[in-house]
Structure 1
Amino acid sequence: MPFLNLSHITRYTYRQPVSFGEHRIMVRPRESYDQHLIDAELNIDPAPADIRWLQDVFGNSVAIATFDRPARELVFDSQIRLQHMPSELQHVDIEDYAQGYPFTYSSEDMPDLLRSIERQHHDPQRQIDSWARRFVNTDGPTDTLHMLSEMTRAIKREFTYVGRPEKGTQSPIETLARRKGTCRDYAMLMIEAVRALGFAARFVSGYVYNPTATEARTGGGNTHAWVRVYLPGSGWVEFDPTNGIVGSRGLIRVAVARDIYQAVPISGTWSGFPGSFLDMTVSVDINVDRSVSDKPRPADLKPRKTTIC
Structure 2
Amino acid sequence: MAIFLVRHVTTYRYRRAVRLGRHQLMARPRDSFDQRLIDFSLDVTPAPSEVRWLHDVFGNCVAQVEFACDSDYLRFECIIKVDHTPENAPDFRIEAHAKDHPFAYQDDEAPDLAPYVQRWFSHPEDHLGRWLDTFLVRGTRRRTGQVLMTLNEAISDGFAYDRRTAPGTQSPSTTLERRKGSCRDFAVLMIEAARSLGFAARFITGYIYVPDRDGPAWLGGGATHAWCQIYVPGSGWVEFDPTNGIVGNRDLIRVAVARVPSQAVPLFGSYWGTREDELGMDVDVNVKTTSALS
Q: TM-score with structure 2 length normalisation?
A: 0.93
Q: 1:87: how far off?
A: 1.9
Alpha-carbon distance in structure 2 between the residues aligned to 1:138 and 1:64: 45
Q: Which residue of 2 aligns with 1:245?
A: 246
Change over 3 Å in CA distance of 1:140–1:24 after alignment to 2: closer
Taking the TM superposition and a 5 Å limit, the aligned residue runs for 1:32-71 are 32-71=32-71
Q: Which residue of 1 aligns with 2:102?
A: 102
Q: Which residue of 2 aligns with 1:306?
A: none
Q: What amino acid is the match of 1:252?
A: I
Q: What amino acid is the match of 2:225?
A: H
Deviation by residue 1:231-255 (Cα, 9 ceiling, x = unmatched): 0011100000000110000100001
Q: Which residue of 1 aligns with 2:268?
A: 267
Change over 3 Å in CA distance of 1:27–1:247 after alignment to 2: same
Indicate if the aligned counterparts of 1:2 and 1:290 stay in contact, CA closer than 8 A.
no
Q: 1:125: how far off?
A: 1.5
Indicate if the aligned counterparts of 2:102 and 2:141 stay in contact, CA closer than 8 A.
no
Q: Which residue of 2 aligns with 1:207?
A: 207
Q: 1:141: how far off?
A: 3.7
Q: Which residue of 1 aligns with 2:20?
A: 20
Q: Which residue of 2 aligns with 1:232?
A: 233
Question: Structure 1 residue runs of 4+, over 4 Å off?
Answer: 137-140, 211-214
Q: 1:91: how far off?
A: 2.1
Secondary structure at the counterpart of residue 276 of structure 2: coil
Taking the TM superposition and a 5 Å limit, the aligned residue runs for 1:276-291 are 276-290=277-291
Overall identity of the aligned pairs, in %: 46
Q: Which residue of 2 aligns with 1:122?
A: 122
Q: 1:51: how far off?
A: 1.3
Q: What amino acid is the match of 1:202?
A: R
Indicate if the aligned counterparts of 2:168 and 2:262 stay in contact, CA closer than 8 A.
no
Indicate if the aligned counterparts of 1:152 and 1:244 stay in contact, CA closer than 8 A.
yes
Secondary structure at the counterpart of residue 275 of structure 1: helix
Q: Give 5+ residue unaligned stretches, structure 1.
A: 215-219, 295-309
Q: 1:287: how far off?
A: 1.1
Q: Which residue of 2 aligns with 1:2?
A: 2
Q: Which residue of 2 aligns with 1:307?
A: none
Change over 3 Å in CA distance of 1:61–1:139 after alignment to 2: closer
Secondary structure at the counterpart of residue 148 of structure 1: helix
Change over 3 Å in CA distance of 1:139–1:132 after alignment to 2: closer
Q: What amino acid is the match of 2:289?
A: V
Q: What amino acid is the match of 1:165?
A: T
Q: 1:289: how far off?
A: 2.2
Q: What amino acid is the match of 1:115?
A: P
Q: What amino acid is the match of 2:271?
A: W
Indicate if the aligned counterparts of 1:129 and 1:197 stay in contact, CA closer than 8 A.
no
Alpha-carbon distance in structure 1 between the residues aligned to 2:275 and 2:156: 41
Alpha-carbon distance in structure 2 between the residues aligned to 1:143 and 1:267: 41
Indicate if the aligned counterparts of 1:131 and 1:193 stay in contact, CA closer than 8 A.
no
Q: 1:275: how far off?
A: 0.9
Q: 1:166: how far off?
A: 1.2
Indicate if the aligned counterparts of 2:6 and 2:287 stay in contact, CA closer than 8 A.
yes
Alpha-carbon distance in structure 1 between the residues aligned to 2:263 and 2:40: 22
Q: Give the number of aligned pairs.
A: 287
Q: What amino acid is the match of 2:234?
A: G
Q: 2:178 matched to 1:178?
A: yes
